[in-house]
Amino acid sequence: MPYLILGGAQVAVGAAAIFARFALGGAGPLAVSASRLAIAAIALLVFAAFARTRAPRRATLRQNVVLAVAGVALALHFAGWIWSLEYTTIAISTLLVCTSPIWTALYDAIVRKRGLSPAAMAGFAGGAVGAIMVVGLDSTPPPNAGHQWLGVLLAIVGAIGIAAYLLLVREVRADLGTRSIVTRTYFWAALALVLASLIARQAPPPLDATAAWGGILAMALISQLLGHTAINASLRWFSPSAVSFATLLEPVFAAILALIVFHEALPLPAVLGGVILLASIGVVLREERLVNWMAP
């Protein structure tokens, strides 16, 4: 059962890009992102109102500010990643948005003065080579021809956004429970995305756009609530390091589903670049775990 829960979580999260592509057929990326987060936030707030659980620890003013900023970073992640799906393939977008461990390790090395081991530096170099191979050697026609690099940039913005979110949440995780954290951050992310979609004049899909709303609901309920909740639940049986490594399966599942549903197939050289990129992220994750374990 633990392996089924962890594996099912990766499939649910990996399928998010498929759901997003359907959702984008009826609305702009900001509206899609706002709808996804709003549904997830409302579901969590309703659950909190009716769940008979011990009252969560009250967050301090500083913690609330940190969680609000983390919510904005989460909004940046979803907006950048979902927007990238309009300009590049699902496989490339999902691969690049999963490079967040590289950005968190780079932050720790530069800001927190944690030195990089030779293995970690090799992981950074391998990740760069793999990313260049994936993007440069992919011949799959993107949804909007001529804007491939815009999609690449937006996916990287999404990766940096989720990296910033994880770094901020790390500051308060010891004092607040997971449900308390995600309820607050989802609320702020939804609010930021609703405001952004209003400014950009991106309306939600019309009510009769069943495919678009199906994609949004699937992202919110399957990928967001079930997938990410299962990832958190799997920490009962697996170490955080093992769970982090397991998330590297998400781009693999996304690429397989994209091939089946949209017939988006990466050429062999790009697939090899993806393998190098995922292996490099795995090396960085391993080195980051060792550094955190040895840190005072």
Check residue 117 and give its pLDDT: 73
Check residue 296 and give its pLDDT: 37
For the cut 60, the answer to whether the pLDDT of residue 240 exceeds it is no
For the cut 80, the answer to whether the pLDDT of residue 26 exceeds it is yes
Cα 139 to Cα 200: distance, rounded to the nearest angstrom:
32
Burial 77-108 (b: 16+ CB within 10 A, else e): bbbbbbbbbbbbbbbbbbbbbbbbbbbbbbbb
Write down the pTM of the prediction.
0.82
Cα 128 to Cα 136: distance, rounded to the nearest angstrom:
12
Check residue 120 and give its pLDDT: 72
Check residue 173 and give its pLDDT: 72
* Rg of the chain on CA atoms, in Å: 19
Q: What is the mean pLDDT of residues 168-179?
A: 77
Q: What is the mean pLDDT of residues 201-210?
A: 92
Q: Are 195 and 12 in contact (CB under 8 A)?
A: no
Q: What is the mean pLDDT of residues 236-244?
A: 62
Cα 259 to Cα 24: distance, rounded to the nearest angstrom:
18
Q: Read off the pLDDT band of 52 (50, 70, 90).
A: low
Check residue 24 and give its pLDDT: 92
Check residue 98 and give its pLDDT: 81
Map out the domains of the chain as residue ranges. 2-294
Q: Read off the pLDDT band of 20 (50, 70, 90).
A: very high
What value does the mean pLDDT of the chain take?
81
Can you give the length of the chain in residues? 296
